[in-house]
Structure 1
């Protein structure tokens, strides 16, 4: 039985990181809106908004402005990756081999796997709190329950994840509207909600960075959910459907978190949201809590694809199918569960530090990837070479990309501001974190210049190249 026949005849996705042929392409740009809109309406998004008022202590107006700016700007970076899936038909992290080389890409892919596990663990903490409060069971048992549902979604694969997100777009979207109406119109927020907090540049930029990273963190797996799309989907439809779904689906839950955090700053996210929507709190927590399982299925699915990419790089003949993906999902779930159980005590602080450090290592990758795709190669890649152990035309290591990546991390360090580390420039700026902006501004033009110089050398006539001259001398 061919993979194409198996894919059509089974509910479980057969393919993993292999190229999706044109005959198996399906879907439209509308599916990109629903998967990003529905998957973002969950408790972790609400908790991210609550950071602005609970951790950074911003007033409501400044917090809402900051999360809006961060989502709008970060969404541009994230959505630019969406067009790569239909064009190339392979997962996002496999594409990284074209920029960094087959072995050079491993550093980035390993970091991304850690990111997936971290997001999975963060979702497990909040999902566990929600389920524990509703079913009156222990949080560890609730964490395990949420995780097992997520594993099932990741094992079944692409179609089920799209279907779940489509359903969440309607169900969770309606509950989100109801939460605003109930919290503000029926219950009425406590008076101190609108007067608490004080504006600080550090808190404002910290919130902007956090919201921007929320979007940028999706960049390493945007193409995983567009690679089955027809090649003629188009850059603009893919961009706008992804952008609007991700930004709208993230912004409004974050605003809800801002309000709940300002109203009940001493409560955790689940309790604060429950208080804010008192009367329908059980419904809101149930829907947003269960939505975590759908989003975690996405994290686990993409984490499995990235892990398989690492394995296939080291062992080129290994190309697992559904069973292999399922086994990898189970291993990643166990790692995430351990992180969730150990790190749930100081969740918001741990999550904020995790996101800030993640931003530092993702920015140079996304800069290299986007410049390479749009400015250098214009979407034209040798797909077969991506699966060759020596990298084919892309080689094992692209020194220019690796140097830009390492430099991109280093150049951000002086501008970084977290509770664990604050760079000297960030200190001089009063704790304001602009590290991700510096990373983009430095690495985008640097990679473009270095690669164009390299392409210029490769474009010289053979007789003008040092290797050709040396060969001529030897034969002479």
Structure 2
């Protein structure tokens, strides 16, 4: 396939399939977008959960961070490898598993997830700008970083990739400087070696938070690989995404674990305290990472919102203007949530990511089993945009039922400050919800969907050429 390297200054596509003539980029771009976008304050905060909230020793927190990220990144990277093959946003592709109307269940939840992540990042961005010494209040900082994200979404895919490519070097250097300063100049916090105690519930809570950090990217990771040539290759796409996202998350989380030992839950102030005179510069650079990630959250939230609308108006082909208007609307919703939820951030963040796990895990299990084990990446893209769902229909009963079962079956194993299920209580607060969800739903959906495909006389195996189908 001929690769055409013509990046658009202002992207004109939204949820439409990307034609071969507009495909560009390479697998290494997937490393930079996931490495550069993860080095930010919210990643540091997530790493601090182990030592500050769960009161684990530093060494055990690092083990939990490694286990969670390295396992969760497998799921994230498997989704990323779907983008070059299909050339459509992830939530559009979900119609191939759930049906045109069945996919709405997950897509609406994903939009809410993006707004939640966006709002969480805004709060930390506002606090970070204040900690960096800029002459703005937290609320003003929240608005400023939000507006930057909106502007990036208006320009679209290529600007976001360029932004994170720059941050790979800038934020990477700031992260290295933070470690060198804390360890070599300031010194590790007093009582560092004796901090915390071994706790299985806390260990699993940290593993869950780290794994969810990766799994949360699954509903939109292929949105950032969909412009790449179809011959990019599944393996290069997988390993570039896996390496970028896992490395870009693990090291900031370890930094957060150090900060958590020193100051507890006030991570931004603690990072500023431990890094001394270079702290404001480091925090300011990490704030740029927040703006980059927020642009990604908002961009994909917009694509998912447009996917919902297009479900009811199949002939609708939204463009750049609709993307801009929708971005502003979602930003306003996130802004309200951020301004209202500035206080008690750590507890709210932990509850939010645990809740996300219950709704994302069954979806990712269904998507990956369907894509890799049942259809082997062979989908009829044209059917994604048909009113009747094409060969996938309006509702795929096995997928929708398995999704609901997956959400319900996790509840007894959930452990949060808001709700702890009976199974988690019996195990001393250990949260195994996501492991149970994956272990039950993956085989259940495989055998149920496989049996349904065999029974269906209307199943049509799409040809490889159909993956380049245009929007109808």
TM-score (normalised: structure 2): 0.95
Distance (whole Å) between structure 2 residues aligned to residue 325 and residue 98 of structure 1: 24
Q: Do structure 1's residue 336 and structure 2's residue 371 form an aligned pair?
A: no
- Would the alpha carbon gap of residues 271 and 460 (structure 1) be closer, same or farther in structure 2, given more than 3 Å must change? closer
Match in the other structure for 2:175: 176
- Per-residue CA deviations over 1:193-252 (Å, capped at 9, x if unaligned) read 221111110000000000000000000001100000111111111100000000000000
In the superposition, the TM-score normalised over structure 1's length comes to 0.94
In structure 1, how many angstroms separate the alpha carbons of the residues matched to 2:193 and 2:154?
45
Instruction: Say which one has the larger Rg.
Output: 1
| Greater Cα shift, 193-202 or 240-249 | 193-202
**2:219 maps to 1:220:** yes
Partner of 2:166: 167
Q: How many residues align structurally?
A: 455
- In 1, the alpha carbon distance for the partners of 2:245 and 2:337 equals 27
Q: C-alpha displacement at 1:136, in angstroms?
A: 3.0
The range that moved more, 45-54 or 185-194, is 185-194
Question: 2:351, 2:287 → 1: CA distance?
Answer: 23
Contact 2:120–2:338 (CA under 8 A) maintained in structure 1: yes
Corresponding residue SS for 1:192: coil
Q: Residue in 2 aligned with 1:129? A: 127
Deviant stretches of 4+, over 6 Å = none
- Are the counterparts in 1 of residues 47 and 253 from structure 2 also a CA contact under 8 Å? yes
The 2-side partners of 1:200 and 1:379 are apart by 42
Structure 2 counterpart of 1:14: 12
Q: How far apart are the structure 1 equivalents of 2:181 and 2:147?
A: 32
Structure 2 residue runs of 5 or longer lacking an equivalent are 460-472
- Give per-residue Cα distances to partners, 1:263-322, cap 9 Å, x unaligned: 111x51210111111121011111001221111000000000000000100122222111
Matching residue of 1:322: 320
Give unpaired runs (5+ residues) of structure 1.
462-476
Q: Which residue of 1 aligns with 2:389?
A: 391
1:103 to 82, 101, 104: 101
Q: In the alignment, what sits opposite 1:86? A: 84
Name the structure 1 match of 2:241.
242
Q: Give the distance between the partners of 1:178 and 1:212, measured in 2 at CA.
A: 26
Go from structure 1 to structure 2 and tell me whether the alpha carbon gap of 1:457 and 1:26 turns closer, same or farther (over 3 Å shift): same
1:118 alignment partner, SS class = helix
Hey, what does 1:469 align to over in structure 2?
none
Is this contact kept in 1: 2:298–2:330, CA < 8 A? yes
Who is 2:300 aligned against? Answer: 302
Alpha-carbon distance in structure 2 between the residues aligned to 1:230 and 1:298: 21
Partner residue, 2:466: none
Tell me which residue corresponds to 2:467. Answer: none
Q: 1 CA distance for matches of 2:401 and 2:141?
A: 44
Question: Alignment partner of 1:111: what SS?
Answer: helix
Equivalent in 119, 130, 133 of residue 117 of structure 2? 119
Paired residue for 1:210? 209
**Equivalence for 1:156:** 155
Alpha-carbon distance between aligned partners in 2 of 1:213 and 1:227, rounded to the nearest angstrom: 23
